[in-house]
Amino acid sequence: MAGKVDICGINTGLLPKLDRKRSEELLLLVKAGDRTAREELIEGNLRLVLSVIQRFSGRGESPDDLFQIGCIGLIKAIDNFDPGHGVMFSTYAVPMIIGEVRRFLRDNSSMRVSRSIRDTAYHALRERTRLEYELGREPTLLEIAKALGTGEAEVVFALDAIADPVSLNEPVFRDDGDAVFVVDQVKDESASEEKWLDSVALRTGMEHLPERERRIIEMRYFLGRTQTEVAGEIGISQAQVSRLEKHALGTMKKYV
């Protein structure tokens, strides 16, 4: 999508640019009800929409659809922006555009959330944007809940319900080029030494491992420990645990 030239029939390379002074002039005119200034301001900020929707590439959605949804967020930002607050327009517009795109992605997600919970979450997101704009900082969950007239727990539950799902193969961080993934942080509470030691094949493969790698495999797959817990007990970094675990599994494949 980043290399796409035409989106919704618009040549992105020909999109106009607005400097800050002209943008501020247009915002004042829009506030006064000037429709021509509003159109110029929309066109002058389409590059901003394009830069925002590039964050959502790889979601399987059409760039054209995301661009149109982003434009809706831009228009809402223009119509609701108050120049009197002394905040740059882009600072206000970007969260509005992101929120509109996220709402579209959530509504079209295969994971269904009840309408009431989704409405609560959307109202909470809207209030968070408004409060951040007014307070000049990120509002607390309690402040958002008070603005909505509801409980803090209800806000937390609603926001969690519409949160984007995370892949188990999502990198958490990288160390020396080696990534640690979400799956490496997951602990299997059902794992037990007796369950895994019943496998003679696994024991055979482990006999060919160095002591430290064998210990890591035992702790990870027999005792259900996370890589963080293993790293703490052995006294090495989590990235090292990840590397040793992968090497051990590769070795075991030769004998299992």
Residue 10 has pLDDT above 70, yes or no: no
Residue 50 has pLDDT above 60, yes or no: yes
* Mean pLDDT of the region 26-44: 90
pLDDT band for position 180 (cuts 50, 70, 90): low
- Structural domain contains residue 166: no
The residue that leads in pLDDT, 41 or 15, is 41
Work out the angle between the directed axes of helices 35-44 and 20-31 (0-180°, nearest 10).
140
Residues 187 and 141 in one domain: no
Task: Read off the pLDDT of residues 86-95 as tens digits, 9 standing for 90 and up.
Answer: 788 888 888 8
Residue 181 has pLDDT above 60, yes or no: yes
Work out how many domains the chain is built from and give that number. Answer: 2
The residue that leads in pLDDT, 181 or 32, is 32
Least confident of 13-17, 30-34, 42-46, 79-83: 13-17
Domain that holds residue 235: 171-253
Residues 208 and 97 in one domain: no
Task: Read off the pLDDT of residues 205-221 as tens digits, 9 standing for 90 and up.
Answer: 788 889 999 899 888 88
∠ CA 227-230-236, rounded to 5°: 95
Q: Which of 161, 195, 220 is the last residue of a domain?
A: 161
- Structural domain contains residue 21: yes
- Structural domain contains residue 1: no
DSSP 74-108: HHHHHHH--GGG---HHHHHHHHHHHHHHHHHHHT
Residues 72 and 189 in one domain: no
- Structural domain contains residue 235: yes
pLDDT of 29 reads 92
CATH number at residue 100: 1.20.120
**CA-CA distance, 222 to 5, in Å (whole number)?**
53
**Coil vs helix vs strand at 236:** coil
Residue 194 has pLDDT above 60, yes or no: no
Work out the angle between the directed axes of helices 35-44 and 63-80 (0-180°, nearest 10).
140
Q: Please state the pTM of the whole predicted model.
A: 0.46
pLDDT band for position 1 (cuts 50, 70, 90): very low
- Structural domain contains residue 232: yes
Task: Read off the pLDDT of residues 103-136 as tens digits, 9 standing for 90 and up.
Answer: 887 776 655 666 777 788 888 888 888 888 888 8
pLDDT of 74 reads 92
Task: Read off the pLDDT of residues 120-177 as tens digits, 9 standing for 90 and up.
Answer: 888 888 888 888 888 888 889 899 999 999 888 888 888 877 666 655 666 666 655 5
Residues 31 and 139 in one domain: yes
Residue 53 has pLDDT above 70, yes or no: yes
